[in-house]
């Protein structure tokens, strides 16, 4: 696959994969790698180890892999790097990476490789083209960097601007829902680093990065880079739609009945509402909706004086992703002792959400309690409209 003259995609489509460390990948994964044919042949990033031979065969369509002189490693997570030992064994290239990446590669692979450590703003001339490097620590690992092909204005953006999707389409203007898949990826991988995403835009200005093409390490390639950069700024600022998300789990349907009453109340105000069950819906899909929701309502029963364990797991996942600027509401049911309500509110307070008084019921909700839940939903809906 030629991206432009003398620049080729030599990545791999992993259609069967459905899990990326607990991130449900409904349509598989892509491990992107890019081959630059210039005076010094250069490979940007690698693929997962089980696809290393497949990648080498693709490279052989364009050049002898032994001729690779530079191997640029933007990120050392094994989905990108575990195939690299095969490349190094064949070509013995100069491995270009950050100081942290060198340390990680040495630890992962006992790598006694020919390293060239680079810092932000440094460049390598590979012939007609110049590669400029921008360190992006914690987007999303300490080792991370991006590589800019100066003359062609192509940004190899590592995990930034990526998507978890295996698609025969290689470009955003060929894949109708490209932005949606980028949103799913951002919500589940990069949401905790929103401040660093906004800083990245300033780094582009500082290091004169003005891409005409953004080529990430996962998913499709952006021939319309302004489209995805604009979305990233929106997501990083936690700009909200007029939307609420109701997330629940239930044992004997009591909490479920509260969830439906709250959702009905929200919907009656004209606010969009999305409803999820943490054991029936994928967490990746739930937090994608949380990303741009203004209100998040979370409910679960009490077990052993604490929140029901499946919800406890989801709350841990949510807390790690650190969504901001939300209105929070807790709703719970209990039998002989409470505890779930306090656990949920505690997480919302840790996230610094604006917490609205919720509802707890013992055993099965009465008609009067369901009416109260509906009214709370109306309150939430009206507050979303006021704040949007």
The C-alpha atoms of residue 17 and residue 26 are separated, in whole angstroms, by: 8
**Pairing state between β 295-303 and 243-248:** parallel
Residue among 45, 135, 159, 172 flagged as catalytic: 159
Distance from C-alpha of 260 to C-alpha of 369, rounded to nearest angstrom: 12
Is 21 tagged catalytic? yes
Of 8, 34, 70, 185, catalytic: 185
Q: Are 143 and 79 in contact (CB under 8 A)?
A: no
Sequence length of the chain is 388
Q: Of 8, 38, 45, 75, which is the active-site residue?
A: 75
Provide the b/e sequence for 272-291 (b: ≥16 CB within 10 Å).
bbbbbebeebbbbbbbbbbb
Catalytic residue (choose from 21, 176, 304, 368): 21
Among 8, 31, 38, 218, the one annotated catalytic: 218
DSSP 8-state assignment for residue 213: E
Annotation marks residue 79 as catalytic: yes
Of the candidates 131, 68, 73, the one whose C-alpha atom is nearest the C-alpha of residue 97 is 73
Dihedral sign for Cα 209, 210, 215, 217, please. Answer: positive
Give catalytic status of residue 17 as yes or no. no
Catalytic residue among 14, 38, 45, 79: 79
Long-range contacts of 306-309 (CB under 8 A, 24+ apart): 306/339, 306/340, 306/343, 307/332, 307/339, 307/340, 307/343, 307/344, 308/249, 308/251, 308/340
The sign one gets for the Cα dihedral 16, 20, 24, 30 is: negative
Does 49 participate in catalysis according to the annotation? no
Catalytic residue chosen out of the listed positions 14, 38, 45, 77: 77
Asked whether the beta carbons of 4 and 129 are under 8 A apart, the reply is no
| Residue 186 DSSP one-character state | I
Beta bridge partners of 277: 248
**Angle at the Cα of 292 (from 287 to 294), degrees rounded to 5?**
105
Q: Which two tokens stand for residue 210?
A: 């003005």
Residues forming the active site: 21, 75, 77, 79, 140, 159, 185, 218
């Amino acid at each position: 696959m030629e991206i432009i003259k003398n620049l080729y995609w030599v990545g791999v489509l992993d259609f069967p994969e459905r899990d990326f460390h607990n991130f449900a990948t409904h349509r598989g994964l892509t491990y992107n790698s890019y081959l630059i044919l210039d005076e010094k042949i250069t490979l940007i990033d690698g693929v997962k180890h089980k696809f290393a031979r497949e990648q080498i065969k693709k490279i052989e369509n364009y050049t002898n892999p032994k001729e690779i002189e530079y191997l640029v490693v933007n990120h050392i997570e094994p989905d990108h790097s575990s195939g690299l030992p095969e490349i190094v064994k064949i070509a013995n290239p100069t491995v270009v990476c950050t100081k942290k990446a060198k340390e990680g590669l040495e630890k992962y692979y006992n790598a006694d490789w020919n390293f060239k450590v680079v810092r932000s703003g440094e460049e390598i001339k590979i012939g007609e083209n110049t590669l400029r490097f921008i360190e992006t620590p914690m987007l999303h690992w300490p080792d991370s960097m991006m590589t800019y092909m100066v003359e062609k204005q192509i940004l190899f953006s590592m995990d930034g601007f990526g998507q978890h999707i295996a698609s025969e389409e290689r470009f955003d203007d060929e894949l109708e829902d490209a932005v949606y898949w980028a949103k799913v990826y951002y919500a589940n991988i990069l949401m905790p680093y929103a401040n660093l995403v906004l800083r990245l835009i300033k780094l582009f200005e500082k290091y004169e990065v003005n891409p005409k093409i953004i080529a990430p390490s996962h998913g499709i390639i952006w021939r319309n880079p302004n489209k995805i950069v604009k979305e990233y700024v929106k997501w990083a600022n936690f700009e909200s739609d007029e939307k609420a998300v109701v997330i629940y789990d239930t044992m004997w349907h009591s909490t479920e009945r509260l969830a439906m009453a709250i959702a009905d109340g929200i919907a009656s105000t004209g606010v969009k509402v999305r409803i999820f069950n943490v054991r029936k819906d994928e967490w990746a899909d739930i937090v994608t909706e949380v990303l741009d929701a203004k209100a998040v309502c979370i409910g679960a029963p009490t077990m052993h004086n604490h929140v029901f364990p499946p919800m406890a797991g989801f709350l841990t996942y949510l807390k790690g992703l650190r969504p901001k600027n939300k209105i929070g509401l807790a709703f719970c049911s209990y039998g002989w002792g409470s505890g779930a309500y306090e656990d949920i509110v505690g997480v919302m307070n840790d996230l610094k959400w604006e917490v609205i008084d919720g509802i707890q019921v013992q055993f099965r909700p009465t008609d009067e309690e369901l009416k109260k839940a509906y009214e709370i939903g109306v309150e939430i809906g009206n507050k979303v409209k006021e704040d949007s």
